[in-house]
Amino acid sequence: MGRGGIRNKVNTMQKEIHPSFNPIKVSCSCGNSFETFSTLDHDLAIEVCSSCHPFYTGKQKLVDTERRVDGFMKKYGSFSKMAKKGKAEGQG
Ligand SMILES: [Zn+2]
């Protein structure tokens, strides 16, 4: 009892989740483009691909990141100083 009903339901679900994969063209901002399969029915534009991503190219973009962190720390440091100064001077 109930078995047939469950089977019927599963069959229906399988039909519904069946995706239609289409070959699409992916264009990267670096100029690289390649084809892939996607459920999308249109071409795709991306900013980073495996050809220009630092992780794959090995280019050291990490230096820039460190600078940013350093800048953030400086900003944060001066901010806390300013906050202290503001307190010392008093507001209002
Ligand atoms: Zn790229």
What CATH class does 18-58 carry? few secondary structures
Mean predicted confidence (pLDDT) in 58-62: 59
Both tokens of 2, joined, read 């109930």
What is the domain partition of the chain in residue ranges?
Answer: 18-58, 62-92
Query: For residue 68, how far is its CA from the centre of ligand 1 (angstroms)?
Result: 23
Closest by Cα among 51, 53, 21, 56 to 33? 51
- Determine the Cα–Cα distance for residues 58 and 75; give it in Å rounded to an integer: 30
Query: For residue 43, how far is its CA from the centre of ligand 1 (angstroms)?
Result: 15
On whether the pTM is more than 0.75, the answer is: no
Q: Where is pLDDT greater, at 36 or 16? A: 36
Query: For residue 30, how far is its CA from the centre of ligand 1 (angstroms)?
Result: 4
Query: For residue 18, how far is its CA from the centre of ligand 1 (angstroms)?
Result: 31
Q: Residues with Cβ within 5 Å of ion ligand 1?
A: 28, 30, 32, 49, 51-52
Q: What is the 3-state secondary structure (H, E, C) of 5-53?
A: HHHHHHHHHHHHHCCCCEEEEEEECCCCEEEEEECCCCCEEECCCCCCC
What confidence category does residue 44 fall into, taking pLDDT thresholds of 50, 70 and 90?
very high
Statement: residue 30 has pLDDT above 80: yes
